[in-house]
Amino acid sequence: MPYFDVGVALDNLGRLGEGLGFTVLLTVIVMALSLVVALLVALGRMARLAVLRWPMTAYVEVIRNTPLLLQLYYFFFVLPYVGIKLDGFTAAVLALTLNYSAYMSEVYRSGIQAIAKGQHDAAHALGMTFLQTFRRIVLPQAIRIVIPGLGNYFISLFKDTALCSIAGVAEVMFTAKTITAVNYQYFTIYTVCFAFYFIVAFPAARFVNYLERTMKGGYARRRLAHG
């Protein structure tokens, strides 16, 4: 029993693979939503209007100063209790999006605020409106700054989806739990789990590193790269 059993591993590869597929799906959906929500939150936090700024700031602070696991518990166990019944997948998507949007909004905010005032001055002096300045001048420069930071959150989200196993969301961790509950092959099954997470996360992390190095280079690299 304390050894890695190749036969058991192979027998369960399919089910665990399905679980991994579900993990990736959950990650991609939450990331896509968070990329948009976080930008809106960041804009809200930087707004001149206090009505927009205050609620956004409160939201970000609450999320950042409480455990993600507790936030998931709320969505899985407290909301149904007060009459809001969501299926596990929806609850997981909502809770993770809420959490990651708060953190990622801070990345956006620092990226946007890193753009020099002179850039706004120059755009305004050309007669650009606030929106044109943001879309054409600020955002393209800010994106370069935030891509590595957002990429790191992407990887961390991929790993955090494992927490959703507490509520029966059929991602890879929950699948592993279900299998070991029957066959007690903890060593084998959880080792396969390790391998699965690592095989996806490691290349992704290398890719984010690569992006980070590329973004540090000047804009002229774009032209050089295209010949």
Partner 1 sequence: MAEADSRSMIRLCRLNKHFGRHHVLKDIDLDVAAGEVLTIIGPSGSGKSTLLRCINYLEVPESGEIWIDGALAYRDGSGGHFRGHSGSRVAAVRAKIGMVFQQFNLFPHLTALENVMEGPLTVLRRPRREAIAAARELLSQVGLSDRADYFPEELSGGQAQRVAIARALAMGPKVMLFDEATSALDPELVGEVLAVMRNLAGGGMTMVVVTHEMGFARQVSDRVIFMDDGRVSESGTPDTLFTHPQNPRTQDFLRAILQH
Smallest separation (angstroms) from partner 1 to the CB of 212: 18
Which is nearer to partner 1, 194 or 226 (by Cβ)? 226
Which is nearer to partner 1, 2 or 218 (by Cβ)? 218
Which is nearer to partner 1, 70 or 116 (by Cβ)? 116
Helix axes 139-160, 186-216, angle to 10 degrees: 170
> What is the CB neighbour count within 10 angstroms for residue 44?
20
Smallest separation (angstroms) from partner 1 to the CB of 111: 13
Smallest separation (angstroms) from partner 1 to the CB of 116: 8
Which is nearer to partner 1, 2 or 118 (by Cβ)? 118
Smallest separation (angstroms) from partner 1 to the CB of 80: 46
Give the 3-state secondary structure of residue 85: coil
Which is nearer to partner 1, 135 or 206 (by Cβ)? 135
Smallest separation (angstroms) from partner 1 to the CB of 173: 41
102 contacts: CB under 8 Å, gap ≥ 6:
38, 41, 59, 60, 63, 64
Q: CA–CA separation, 52 vs 18, rounded Å? A: 42
Smallest separation (angstroms) from partner 1 to the CB of 223: 7
- Fill in the amino acid letter for 143: I
Which is nearer to partner 1, 72 or 115 (by Cβ)? 115
Nearest to 176 by CA among 20, 72, 69, 6: 20
Q: Give me the phi and psi of 44, to 5 degrees please.
A: -60, -40
Which is nearer to partner 1, 28 or 126 (by Cβ)? 126
Q: CA–CA separation, 107 vs 101, rounded Å? A: 10
Give the ranges where the chain is alpha helix by DSSP (H).
6-46, 50-64, 68-73, 79-81, 88-113, 117-125, 130-132, 139-160, 172-183, 186-216, 220-225
Q: Which residues bind partner 1 (CB under 8 A)?
A: 116, 118-119, 121-130, 132-133, 136-137, 140-141, 144, 218-220, 223
Smallest separation (angstroms) from partner 1 to the CB of 49: 12
